[in-house]
Amino acid sequence: MSDPPGYQRPTAKIAVKSKEREEDDEDQEPVPPEQPPVEDDDENENAGLSEEDLLLKETLEAAVAKLTARKSSSSSREAAVDTLATEIRSATSSMTSVPKPLKFLRPHYEPLKEFYRTLKSGSLKKAVADVLSVLAMTMAEEGSRECLGFKLEGNRTELGVWGHEFIRALSGEISQEYVARTTADPPDDPSELIELVDVIIPFQIDQKSEIEAVDLLLEVNELEKLIGYVDKSNYDRVCLYLLRLAEYHIALEDLESALGVAFKLYLGEKDLANALRVAMRLNDMGLATQVMEAAEKMRDGGLVLRQLGLMMGSHKFFGYTSDDDQVNSLIGNEELWDHFQSLARELNAEDPKTPDDVYKSHLSESSSLMREAAQVESARQNLASTYVNAFVNVGFQKDALMTPADTQWLYKNKDHGMISAAASLGMILLWNVNEGMSQIDKYLYSSEFIKAGALLALGIVNCGVRDDVDPALSLLPEHFEEGKPDILRMTAALGLGIAHAGNPKEEVAEVLLPVVADTSAAANMEVVALAGLALGLVFAGTADEDVCTTIVQRLMEASPAELDQPIAKMLCVGLGVLFLGAQEKAEPTVEAVKTVEHKISKFAAVVIETCAYTGTGNVLQVQKLMHLCAEHLDKNGDSVAEVAAAAEAAEEEETEEKTGAAQGGADATAAAAAAAADSKAAEEKEEEQQTEEEREAEKQQAAANAMHQSAAVIGVALITMGEKIGREMAQRTFQHLLQYGDLAVRRAVPLAMALCHISDPEYALIDVLSKLTHDADVPTAMSAIISLGLLGAGTNNSRIAQLLRSLATFYSKDANPLFIVRIAQGLLHAGKGLVTLAPYHSDRTLMSGPAIAGILAVIYCSLDLKNTILAKHHYLLYTLVCAIRPRMLMTLDAKTMEQLPVKVRVGQAVETVGQAGRPKTITGFQTHSTPVLMGFGDRAELVSEEYEPLSDVLEGVVLLKKRKKKRSSKDRDGDVEMAK
């Protein structure tokens, strides 16, 4: 059939690949089949939705359309808003991901905002604002705070119906807005924000989100409001969080605010043991008195009052006096020596140890050489043995050298060695005042040095004990009188300070202040310095104005010759420990000390400032100290960079003067150049002719002039020792200082490392210190040796013991380092391993001011061992007694006050702050029967629920009472039958 004329048959084009293209495409990957063209965007979006989701989306879009339509009535708009609100509320009540209504409404956020702006004020506008506030949580630009802005314009009540995540987002924006308003110039009124906070806090408390509630109230400075919402079910969680939070507060006001709220919560819930713990942490005797008075009103037979008395005694918090003599006895630690003897009996540690038992010379590599050296007695070796004997047998009431009736050990020492030997009696009889006084009394009528030692022993035996008779205050002041030998005045002053460490009596100040203030020609700086240190021990952490003024005035009036004496630094240490934890309160004193025209002013300023921020973890202060450590100083104590800059400036000025002056001719110029060259050549020749000894002397002089840098290194340890992260960061910093620091800085680093970990022998730290014990600089090596002793004090750590035995062999022919090794061995085995020097106790929540003061006295002496401990002031080692306490857990029956052995689990403490439920508080535990030893970082808990402890923290001496058994229904029915 033929096509009609003019008709064109339609043609189809068929693409056929050429052979060439086929060859090119052989190496290419196969192309996936083409997708069909998308006809509609809406259909693409809805493709992955279920029928239920599709229905929800359509419902929401219809509601938005009805709401924003121009012709919609007010009733229909209100219905549409209700629909949106209902759907959003149901989806946000429990959010694990972004709710579907918020996803579906994302495209409508901007149109809804535009529509909102057109509405007039009223209930509809508020309802729309509520919806927009929730949408803004995920759709608003970051930093715009639209979520808060819409909520302030909407309904400000019933916020919880929008879900927990909304409350969390709103809280964050409230915090930001509060800061913005209060820091504006002029400040804006934040009252409407506080209204929202008042609605949010009850919701968070009900939802068990107490931590978030505390954070929000902290941000808006309304922490006191927390008291009205906390009850018996959650106060312990809230208070624990507040206590941990306080460690990170920089400002003293914030710290006191957080701890103050915790105190009120504990006191309100009758948790008096924890309330007292907070009061002691604040060092506030007024708050402690409130707790004790509340305990006196309890009808429990005074059981809780006894436990509180034991806690005050353990912390050396002696300011409170009760009407109950038994409670006063517990506060005064009068039974501590007896408890310690019970511990020793239980652990079979009663037999005295001799220095040879500690040295274990037979285990060293060259034992024969050591034995030969030991056969030749020397005063220095006997002095070392005196200290080892004193530390090892501390508090045991008997030893093998001093307490036997026919002892001649006292006379095997010379002069100042006799002081230490007689004073060691106080260490051995520690805490047992009655027995101690009778044994020490016979030495008070002996030769001058023995009598001086007996006066010091009299103070030591009273350390940590508060006695109504107060024998130290009765007997020691008569030896301060003018005309008495200086050595008696020195030891009597130090003994009085040690006896009243942590017991700031006005009578003690009245006796010691005139000694410090004495500026007569007969005044001896040694007596003045030790009296100042004694005042520091007594008034540690109190910032007492009279003591502070007297010491500062004495520093100002002292002559350069007096301040040049090494012992003068103890006056600065005494002034520093007055301000332990005082923070900004120390600033006026720091400025006053800087006016002293002597190099000691820098040292004093650093000591005071670092003591003021002890345990705070203040990063700004640490940075300031690091800048100080980074300076390189010349032999005169001046900054090398500053001296070089001044010289360069002077040279430039001289050049300008010469250029500006009239030209004196070529001859004059040549003559000047020749003179300069001759001068430079002479300097170089002088440097070459300097002997090695002279260079070494210059280095030592530079280190002596840079003592403030050493104090800055110690200060870094003081500031960071309060919490774990700070200590770890400080250790890294010390490693850098070891590599790049000057001599004065390097010498202080081992001591700073040990100060962060007193009685806490960490393996990594032991390795670092063991390397430094062989340092080319002998003072650095000796600092590392004594640091090993402080690090392992009272732990009997076998690794450190082995290191010290090796060092005794290595330094067997070098008297000074060997003496320090012996001291370190004595510290390591202190109390036969039953005591600790750690200044933090009560689950590391409390820092003992007297303990820190005693440790600091020894550490600052160790910065200049040659002129202090290795000279005639070695008895300053006894200031460590202020830090010594038994590391035990002993349980007593609260009613009879007799020992009550119970099973306890002892393990490493686990942080439980903010964790839900009742998490485990210890890990890796072992079960023991009390009394039991507690290591650093250990925590204990009772195995049986038969007894109830009267203190949450099982440490030291804890009283137990039997739990009241809950009577079953069968028992009650039986009682009824018997009555019938």
3-state secondary structure 500-529: CCCCCCHHHHHHHHHHHHCCCCCCCHHHHH
pLDDT of residue 857 exceeding 80, the answer is yes
- Average of per-residue pLDDT across 948-969: 83
**Token pair recorded at residue 186:** 């002029």
Instruction: Check: CB of residue 265 under 8 Å from CB of residue 230.
Output: yes
pLDDT at 278: 93
pLDDT at 275: 94
- Band of the pLDDT at 93, cuts 50, 70, 90? low
How many angstroms separate the Cα of 215 from the Cα of each of 228, 258, 359? 16, 11, 55
Percent of the chain with pLDDT strictly greater than 90: 39
pLDDT at 629: 87
**Rounded to an integer, what distance in angstroms lies between the CA atom of residue 279 and that of residue 315?**
12
pLDDT of residue 379 exceeding 90, the answer is no
Summarised one tens digit per residue, pLDDT across range 500-556 is 998 998 999 999 999 999 888 778 899 999 999 999 999 998 999 999 999 999 999
Q: Are strands 888-893 and 956-962 parallel, antiparallel or unpaired?
A: parallel
Residue with the bigger pLDDT between 482 and 639: it is: 482
Instruction: Check: CB of residue 777 under 8 Å from CB of residue 702.
Output: no
Q: What is the DSSP letter of 633?
A: B
- Sign, Cα dihedral of 202, 204, 208, 212: negative
Residue with the bigger pLDDT between 7 and 799: it is: 799
**Rounded to an integer, what distance in angstroms lies between the CA atom of residue 953 and that of residue 909?**
11
Alpha helix stretches (DSSP H) within 26-73: 41-45, 51-68
Question: Mean pLDDT: which of 207-211, 243-247, 470-474, 786-790 is highest?
Answer: 786-790
CB 213: neighbour CB atoms within 10 A?
26
pLDDT at 9: 55
How many angstroms separate the Cα of 823 from the Cα of each of 125, 330, 380? 80, 33, 12
Instruction: Check: CB of residue 379 under 8 Å from CB of residue 414.
Output: yes
User: Which residues, in sequence order, are bridge partners of residue 949?
Assistant: 960
Instruction: Check: CB of residue 926 under 8 Å from CB of residue 907.
Output: yes
**Rounded to an integer, what distance in angstroms lies between the CA atom of residue 594 and that of residue 602?**
7
Query: CA 166 from chain center: how many Å?
Result: 37
- Average of per-residue pLDDT across 696-703: 65
The torsion angle over the Cα atoms of residues 547, 553, 556 and 558, rounded to 10 degrees, is -80
pLDDT at 979: 47
3-class secondary-structure state, position 864: coil
- Band of the pLDDT at 697, cuts 50, 70, 90? low
The structure's pTM equals 0.84
- Sign, Cα dihedral of 966, 970, 976, 980: negative
Which H or E element spans position 959? strand 956-962
Summarised one tens digit per residue, pLDDT across range 146-185 is 888 888 888 888 788 888 888 888 899 899 888 888 888 8
Q: Which of 51-65, 442-456, 806-820 has the lowest mean pLDDT?
A: 51-65
288-291 — which CB contacts under 8 Å span 24+ positions?
288/312, 288/317, 288/319, 288/320, 289/320, 291/267
- Band of the pLDDT at 26, cuts 50, 70, 90? very low
Q: Which of 45-54, 792-801, 916-925 has the lowest mean pLDDT?
A: 45-54
pLDDT at 155: 85
pLDDT of residue 828 exceeding 90, the answer is yes
What integer best gives the mean pLDDT of the chain?
83
- Band of the pLDDT at 838, cuts 50, 70, 90? very high
How many angstroms separate the Cα of 923 from the Cα of each of 86, 227, 679, 725, 764? 48, 33, 72, 20, 22
pLDDT of residue 678 exceeding 90, the answer is no
**Token pair recorded at residue 388:** 């080892």
**Token pair recorded at residue 385:** 């043995």
Q: Are strands 947-949 and 938-942 parallel, antiparallel or unpaired?
A: unpaired
pLDDT of residue 133 exceeding 90, the answer is no
Q: Which of 17-21, 228-232, 344-348, 506-510 has the lowest mean pLDDT?
A: 17-21
pLDDT of residue 304 exceeding 80, the answer is yes
883 residue type, one letter: A
pLDDT at 6: 53
Q: What is the DSSP string of 288-340?
A: HHHHHHHHHHSSSTTHHHHHHHHHHHHTT------S-HHHHHHHTTTTHHHHH
518 residue type, one letter: D
**Rounded to an integer, what distance in angstroms lies between the CA atom of residue 52 and that of residue 778?**
82
- Band of the pLDDT at 652, cuts 50, 70, 90? low
pLDDT of residue 969 exceeding 60, the answer is no
Q: What is the DSSP string of 591-614?
A: HHHTTSSSTHHHHHHHHHHHHHTT
pLDDT of residue 4 exceeding 70, the answer is no
- Average of per-residue pLDDT across 956-966: 85
Q: Which of 1-5, 84-88, 376-380, 713-717 has the lowest mean pLDDT?
A: 1-5
